[in-house]
Amino acid sequence: MLLYLLSALFQNTPQPAYPPSPPAPPAPPAPPIYAGSSRIPHAMRQIDRFAVDVEILGAGAVLWSGPLRLASGQPASVRHDVREASSPGCDTSARGFWSSDQSSLSLSLSVLSAESVDDSVRVALRWGRPVPGACGEGSGSARAVELNQSVQLERGKWVVLNGDAGLVLRLRRR
């Protein structure tokens, strides 16, 4: 019974009042970010995406044309490969079952660096094609031309690169 009386007495006793908690301290200010600093992590930089109109000509014909988008750290590329039976008039019995004509086109455009201020782009272009009239010279005879160059692309102006064998690359930044 005594226990019952004591528990009833403590239940009716008012609880001590605690003062309210102080407010949380303010958050520290964010560190400053300087736009001109080369030490800014790549993920924090503003990525400047832009489109480039591309025309690739070879042997007097358009090999490929169209727009490509690129940005710093995000190159653009095009690859086109064709493998087909030998040209009409070629005697494939001398060349064997696997004889065929092959042609390829590969283009890669990449911004030189994130800190570049002159809109420089690295160009890598390769054009491979069968040797004309190479019917009896063995399987897979081919010729290739490459262009590897850095160019400055200004908005709205065409840049023309000329390679061997009539290869022409035209680029224009939009």
pLDDT in tens, 103-135: 899 999 999 875 555 678 999 999 998 877 666
* Token digits of residue 88: 């009409």
On whether residue 17 sits in a domain, the answer given is: no
- pLDDT of amino acid 21: 79
CA pair distance 160, 123, nearest whole angstrom: 12
On whether residue 33 sits in a domain, the answer given is: no
Closest C-alpha among 45, 64, 173, 62 to residue 119: 173
On whether residue 7 sits in a domain, the answer given is: no
The total number of residues written for the chain in this structure? 174
- pTM, two decimals, is 0.66
What range defines the domain where residue 149 resides?
A: 42-92+100-173
Domain count along the chain: 1
On whether residue 31 sits in a domain, the answer given is: no
More confident residue, 154 or 90: 154
CA pair distance 96, 88, nearest whole angstrom: 15
**pLDDT higher than 60, residue 46:** no
On whether residue 4 sits in a domain, the answer given is: no
Provide the pLDDT confidence category of residue 101 given band limits of 50, 70 and 90: confident
On whether residue 21 sits in a domain, the answer given is: no
On whether residue 65 sits in a domain, the answer given is: yes
On whether residue 23 sits in a domain, the answer given is: no
CA pair distance 50, 120, nearest whole angstrom: 12
- pLDDT of amino acid 23: 83
Provide the pLDDT confidence category of residue 86 given band limits of 50, 70 and 90: confident
Closest C-alpha among 64, 69, 73 to residue 170: 64
